[in-house]
Structure 1
Amino acid sequence: MSAGKSGITPKVMVVYGTRPEAIKVAPVIKALEADPNLEPIVVVTAQHREMLDQVNQVFEIEPDVDLNLMAHGQTLNSIAGSVISKIDEVLAEHEPDAVVVQGDTTTVMGAAIAAFNREIPVVHLEAGLRSGDINSPFPEEANRKIVSQIARVHLAPTMVSRSNLLADGVPEENIHVIGNTVIDALQWAVERPVEFSLPELRALESDDRRVLLVTTHRRENLGDNMVNIGKAMRHLATNYPDLLIIWPAHKNPKVRASIAPQIEDLDNVISIEPVEYGEFSHLINASDIVLTDSGGIQEEAPSLGKPVLVLRENTERPEAVDAGTVKLIGTATEKIIAEVSQLLDDSKAYRDMANAVNPYGDGHSAGRSVDVLNELLGGR
């Protein structure tokens, strides 16, 4: 393809809907804006409204189209249906030459299907992640496998991801290993001076206590698993009075109902509202240990030398586990207590994880993404 449908500059539509997507597409959008050979069109579904807006503000991104699809009590099927129908309208209006989606959310799956049905090339950023369990994480594992079947270009973060795609039958020439753009975003955010908005976080600069950062939100952890996590937090706070636990409480009321009652009376546990991305990057940097069921933090924290204990039985990001900077520990209360305690009590165990090499890239993944897009669309 030598030029866009307009015959002038190829148009690249970037579609995203959640905070994790926004973080990882932001460096690509900025790189597209700086490239004179491609025209970016930024579309947000707002599957997550408030948290998405925070990231856009940090990276100074103004969407061209805001579908504002978030609705109270929305189901996965209602989100998927809205994304496909609304994105189809946007595709008809703007006629992009390629559509970029990132990761594995319902927005990603719906936008990819809408583009594929219009025979528009789908470019999948962070392609090839696999946990091996269709129900964990749910529905993300299914979403990314669906997108892999219809994408024209697969931007894989690692060689492991490349191998997964080859095993799924994706042609080798359609796969490009570029690293993970989350490292581009994190380096950019950490290098920018940020003052914490909350006094509890500003006090970290003069607080000598070790910090355990806890984030929980996974759908498959709701219920008993989340209660187990809360019990472990209480035990650790009680038995390590010199430990400061910081818990940015996810907006999901089910998460809060499981954990908040168990920690609300503890002086060394700080429960806060989710902070914007720039602050959160600095919060990771100020922490000593990260306890999480998040996917992105498994990539971010290791690049800052922070050991990560993952509250899951499996992960689609095995590279950091193999490198030794991430450890899968599940959600059993006693297991969580034992693993955190080991890092607190055993300096060698801590150093071994903190000094492991991060396998996710060098901070130049966005530039490589744009090079691939130019090759696809003949931008230069």
Structure 2
Amino acid sequence: MIVGTRPEAIKLAPLAHALAAIGIAPRLLLTGQHPNLRPEDHGLGGLPCDQLGCAGIADPIAHAALVAAAIEPILDRDLPDLVIVQGDTSSALGGARAAAKLDFALAHVEAGLRSFDQAMPWPEEGNRIAIDALADLLFAPTEGAAANLRSEEVTGEILVTGNTGIDALLAVLGTLAPLKPQARRLDDPLDILVTCHRRENWGGGIEAVAAALIELASERTARVEVIIHPNPQVADAMRMLFAREPGITLSPPTGHRGMIERMRRAELILSDSGGVQEEAPTLGVPLLVLRERTERPEALAAGNAMLVGTSTEQILADVRRLHRDRAALAAMARPSQPFGDGHAAPRIAGHIRRWLLHRDQRSSAA
């Protein structure tokens, strides 16, 4: 099981537990893309683990090659029955390439997501297309993702399972105390939570979002909390843009539980995060997606999210409209489950067990 980033760890932890529960405890391979990632912080403690130390570098294509080269000798040593990667990071691509080169079976968790634009996001769109072309088992979170895979005529087996990120979300929610209702007046500012970190928004995109947030806070349309991303380049830009701005709170990076606690208290979220696009509909928190395109259109179709991009004018218009029209805001706040019911991990584990049994049976017959 290849893990390079915090989101990968969060989404693979439910699967690791589901596999262990049926006697298929996985071995972890931490690439080091997020250098301070500790398995025990994400429910992955206690599993056998190798650490590669391939910290993320500026060139994600070069990083994928670095990861692949570091993984190959470990695969040669361990001779795994199956290599599992998740999502679209350079760690996932590196793991997939290493498995394919050495002819080990490959499973892709969260397969089939497509924005249909190689630049948005880059390099993630190309990464996931490449991984899906190599995979033997493709675990699509939605029917739409599965349809994308069928249209590409991938050679692996396509299975619709739901998204393991929803498993992780619901597990955390089950440990949190119920929220107490808040009395709000119609003219109160909206409590807005913001995250913005994607490469496509670096520079001008983040600056345009910041301009909108500063104006919304100054006119008391919103009380804004911005979660600073761990990436130093993004964090430094955010601190500079929001220095001494009243009405805007800058909060340090937070873990999964802390993020969920903040999300469920917000009246509106502005984010370019893929995970937030999955979690907000389940939580029933309206979301404005700070991107021009998304590979998660199910959130839009469910009515919980809208694409607004990073245009200052568009963000101002939509937030002001939702501030005035509380009925429209409430319609977006109806919880939905476009990305699964919280049982994706045991489904995937069951498919993996079946696949391994059938493979063994085919080998015996041969």
In the superposition, the TM-score normalised over structure 1's length comes to 0.87
Decide which of 210, 214, 217 is 1:234's aligned counterpart.
Answer: 214
Contact 1:324 1:356 in 2 (8 A): no
Give the structure 1 partner of residue 363 of structure 2. none
Deviations along 1:88-111, one digit per CA (max 9) or x if unpaired, are 111111111001100100011110
Matched, 1:324 2:296: no
Decide which of 191, 202, 207 is 1:211's aligned counterpart.
Answer: 191
Change (3 A) 1:116 1:185: same
Matched, 1:70 2:55: yes
Q: How does 1:90-239 map to 2 (within 5 A)?
A: 90-171=74-155, 174-193=157-176, 210-239=190-219
Contact 1:233 1:263 in 2 (8 A): no
Deviates more, 1:323-332 or 1:339-348: 339-348
Matched, 1:22 2:9: yes
Deviations along 1:62-117, one digit per CA (max 9) or x if unpaired, are 4511212116x542233112210111111111111001100100011110010011
What letter matches 1:40 in structure 2? P
Task: Indicate the SS of the match to 1:296.
Answer: helix
Q: Percent identity?
A: 37
Deviates more, 1:154-163 or 1:260-269: 260-269
Instruction: Report the Cα distance in structure 2 between the residues aligned to 1:168 and 1:256, rounded to whole angstroms.
Output: 38
Matched, 1:287 2:273: no
Task: Indicate the SS of the match to 1:290.
Answer: strand
Task: Indicate the SS of the match to 1:316.
Answer: coil
Instruction: Report the Cα distance in structure 2 between the residues aligned to 1:278 and 1:41, rounded to whole angstroms.
Output: 25
Change (3 A) 1:213 1:174: same
Matched, 1:87 2:74: no
Shift of 1:299: 0.2
Task: Indicate the SS of the match to 1:378.
Answer: helix
Q: How does 1:221-370 map to 2 (within 5 A)?
A: 221-240=201-220, 243-355=222-334, 357-370=336-349
Deviates more, 1:323-332 or 1:338-347: 338-347
What letter matches 2:301 in structure 1? D
Change (3 A) 1:68 1:193: farther
What letter matches 1:366 in structure 2? A
Change (3 A) 1:254 1:58: closer
Deviations along 1:295-325, one digit per CA (max 9) or x if unpaired, are 1110011100001100111000111111111
Change (3 A) 1:19 1:333: same
Instruction: Report the Cα distance in structure 1 between the residues aligned to 2:264 and 2:206, rounded to whole angstroms.
Output: 25
Shift of 1:259: 3.2
Contact 1:323 1:356 in 2 (8 A): no
Shift of 1:158: 0.4
Deviations along 1:188-244, one digit per CA (max 9) or x if unpaired, are 1122249xxxxxxxxx99997642110011101111111001101101111126x32
Shift of 1:32: 1.4
Point out which structure has higher relative CO (alpha carbons under 8 A, 6+ apart).
1
Shift of 1:125: 0.4
What letter matches 2:216 in structure 1? L
Shift of 1:262: 3.3
Change (3 A) 1:138 1:62: farther
Give the structure 2 partner of residue 4 of structure 1. none
Contact 1:101 1:124 in 2 (8 A): yes
Instruction: Report the Cα distance in structure 1 between the residues aligned to 2:245 and 2:169, rounded to whole angstroms.
Output: 31
Contact 2:115 2:125 in 1 (8 A): yes
Q: How many residues align?
A: 352
Shift of 1:58: 3.9
Task: Indicate the SS of the match to 2:194.
Answer: strand
Give the structure 2 partner of residue 201 of structure 1. none
The answer for unaligned runs of 5 or more in structure 2 is: 361-366
In the superposition, the TM-score normalised over structure 2's length comes to 0.91
Deviations along 1:174-200, one digit per CA (max 9) or x if unpaired, are 111000111100011122249xxxxxx
Deviations along 1:40-68, one digit per CA (max 9) or x if unpaired, are 11111120123x33x74142524511212
